[in-house]
Amino acid sequence: MIRQPNNKSRRILIANRGEIASRVAKACRELGHTAVGCWTDNERQAVHLQFCDEWVHLEGSTNGETYLNVEKIIQVAKDNNIDAVHPGYGFLSENADFANSLKKAGIIFIGPNVEAIKVMGDKATSKKLANKSGVPTVPGTDEAVPNAEEAVKVASEIGYPVLLKAVAGGGGRGMRACENEKDVRDQFDAVGRESLAAFNNGDLLVEKLIVNPHHIEVQILADKDGNTYHFFERECSIQRRHQKIVEEAPSPFIGDDEELRKNICDTAIKLAKAVNYDSAGTVEFIMGEDKSFYFLEMNTRIQVEHPITEEITGMDLIVCMIQAALGDDLRIPSQEFITRSGHAIECRICAEDPITMLPAPGLVTGFETNFPQGTRFDHCLYKGLEVTPDFDPMVGKLVCKGMVRDVAIRKMRAALDGLFIEGLKTNKPLLKVILDEDVFCEGQYSTNYIKEVAPQDSIDTAFKHQRFYEILAGVEARRMGI
């Protein structure tokens, strides 16, 4: 069935902040909807507000009082005649209770149905579904192990090394590699406590640890009629503390192996259909050195790294996500309609020490850019922005596209050189080292890259000199009115 275009304007509340809130606001306005932004007690001048049509006060200053407060967000939505809520990523974006509460209130959740969120949000349940659907999974348990003794038993059966992994949550928390029985016994309770504190669920799985793995994910999109499409894959193997800092599309590891690419993308669609998915989402896989791949988890939301997929496909994923939630026709006649061209790279710009990679809050005293043609910078920066420990340290996403990977890398080097942020310590020096490093340039890196190659060790006194010249360049740029 082909749906007729829905020209009705909706009032859409963006229950998020930063660059993703700006991104969603632009998509809402493009579609003719009213973008309603939130401002909190400590973010009265947030950048995303300038892209919104209206603003509402989400009273409070902590995450618990604002962006994580289900009751308050729903009440604000009711008070302001909101038709739909877009959660962005993080915060309540994968919270089934939030989605269900909106549904009960007669407000559309711009994301997948509640059941899909529940099933894919639990690693044990999602692994069972994958196994049932014929989707390959990492050898190990698909149910929580009750204690360390049982974990040791499972580990002995599948062979070391193994991974203790939280049933709930993500973002690298609640995960610990174990090389032997002693590690399992020593780490089991600690990982359980970490998981309980982070996700209010201390249950753990035991899985075979894939050596030198690649983190490959497939972007999918589905509508209310069951039409499901993939937008090819992304490589996300440059990580620190299990969190991504550099992403690419397409994957240099898959390279020209179109049969493998089709196989992993079709597998992602198979899983999405099995859970009756009906929004934008990402199916994540872990790929071994032999290019065998296994289902890892599904993110039932838009990903931070979605821009690189947009760059190689020409599709606006946020627009499509909103259309899917409202029941509009996506105007995608078939999978063949979605094609890719060129290569895109995203570098996450984070307020953190480039050597220790730990968060480094601070005040932005100056901000200038001088980018090469075609650079995309999704960000929340402005002079006077105070980056606090309250939120994720990412302040922007730098995206460059080239017709081939070498060109994309070259453009990214130039873009990093043209990004000037004063007063704030960032990971830019680390990113510059990575973009010049041989293993990265060859495209054969694994998720062990930071640990094994240690690009942070190549950041020395040159970092201090670079910062000095950046400050001078920023001052000169402002003096000239650039």
Residues annotated as catalytic are 301
Place of tokens 């529940």: 118
Number of Cβ within a 10 Å radius of residue 160: 15
Question: Phi, psi at residue 165, to the nearest 5°?
Answer: -140, 135
Q: Tokens representing 371?
A: 């980018």
Q: Tokens representing 143?
A: 């149910």
Query: What is d(CA 149, CA 226) in angstroms, rounded to the nearest whole number?
Result: 44
3-state secondary structure of 97: helix
Query: What is d(CA 210, CA 471) in angstroms, rounded to the nearest whole number?
Result: 44
Query: What is d(CA 450, CA 133) in angstroms, rounded to the nearest whole number?
Result: 34
> Which residues neighbour 105 within 8 Å (Cβ) at sequence distance 6 or greater?
74, 77, 78
Is residue 345 within 8 Å of 308, Cβ to Cβ? yes
Starting at the edge strand found earlier in the chain, the sheet holding 214-222 runs: 293-299, 280-287, 214-222, 228-240, 243-249, 343-350, 394-402, 376-379
Helix 181-199 with 148-158: angle, nearest 10 deg: 120
Query: What is d(CA 198, CA 194) in angstroms, rounded to the nearest whole number?
Result: 6
DSSP-derived letter for residue 140 is B
Number of Cβ within a 10 Å radius of residue 472: 11
Query: What is d(CA 456, CA 429) in angstroms, rounded to the nearest whole number?
Result: 9
Query: What is d(CA 246, CA 357) in angstroms, rounded to the nearest whole number?
Result: 14
Helix 96-104 with 70-79: angle, nearest 10 deg: 30
Q: Tokens representing 239?
A: 């990580």
Can the peptide bond before residue 136 be classed as cis, meaning omega within 30 degrees of 0? no
> Which residues neighbour 472 within 8 Å (Cβ) at sequence distance 6 or greater?
none
Q: Which amino acid is at 151?
A: A
Query: What is d(CA 267, CA 294) in angstroms, rounded to the nearest whole number?
Result: 10
Number of Cβ within a 10 Å radius of residue 382: 12
Query: What is d(CA 186, CA 107) in angstroms, rounded to the nearest whole number?
Result: 47
C-alpha to C-alpha distances, 412 to 63, 252, 440, 441, 443, nearest whole angstrom: 33, 16, 13, 12, 15
